[in-house]
Amino acid sequence: MLNLNATIDPNSGFCFGVVYAIEMAEEWLNAEGKLYCLGDIVHNDEEVARLQKKGLVTINHDQLKELHNERVLIRAHGESPDTYKIALENNLELIDASCPVVLKLQNRVKESYDKNDAPVFIYGKHGHAEVKGLKGQTNEEAVVFMDIAELDNVELPEKVNLFSQTTKDTKNYYQVKKDLEARGVEVKFNDTICRQVSNRDVELRNFSKLYDQIVFVSGTQSSNGKVLYSICKQENPNTHFVSSASEVNSEWFTAGQTVGIAGATSTPLWQMEQVKSKIETI
């Protein structure tokens, strides 16, 4: 054995929005034994599989259109107005676990769109569930971009209302504002980054410096996971990404090293504990 000393970051794991959604799902599953969920409840395959064993059935938007007289969970990412319209038409009972931070952002985007004083631009990941819900507040008219370079060949308006997906990197978002202004655009800037997520930046940087190696645990589809992993990697080059304990590689370590274990806001504590156990038995 290598006698590795592993420590889980106390600030890692589910954000309150994900905790709320999973608690609601488990409450209904314990009572009813079955519940539909529109999209993966969290971007973590192992947590999704755990809840599926309890009776959670994941469906997509096409399947929702064919569903009638059932109960459906809306996950923390939120949904567009079309989803609520379909639910009404199909007599679906919605268990709405939309994150309060996301709901507030949706309202701000809709108010901005309804005011119609400038086009809505959204800094976020194309196709992401939260971004789809935000774009839906604008009758699908908002301009979504992941990188400022996407706007290089776009004729920009004189003024924009700028919003961000809640889990984007704060520093990059402020840089987007500066870049747009440098192009002569008047930016009505809305700081819509979730502070529970953005505060993880400083916390993770400090945590990553304390250990010889860092193992970052996250689902491969988690946008937040990609951001936080890159932060760890910046501070500690000996950072490794895993989506399950089975991916931990003994060749990463040498005897007696200290190992920090961190995770995304979509990473359950039980999964980080599994990784810790695996590391301590190498």
Active site positions, annotated: 130
Q: Which residue, 14, 216, 174, is CA-closest to 99?
A: 14
In one-letter notation, the amino acid at residue 67 is L
- For residue 214, list its beta bridge partners: 239, 260
Q: What distance in Å separates the CA atoms of residue 161 and residue 264, rounded to the nearest whole number? A: 29
SS3 of residue 214 by DSSP? strand
Taking the CA atoms of the chain, what radius of gyration do you get in angstroms? 21
Q: What is the DSSP letter of 250?
A: G
Specify the DSSP element, H or E, that contains 5: strand 5-8
Beta-carbon contacts of residue 75 (< 8 Å; ≥ 6 apart): 21, 37, 38, 39, 40, 41, 42, 97, 98, 129
Q: What distance in Å separates the CA atoms of residue 70 and residue 279, rounded to the nearest whole number? A: 44
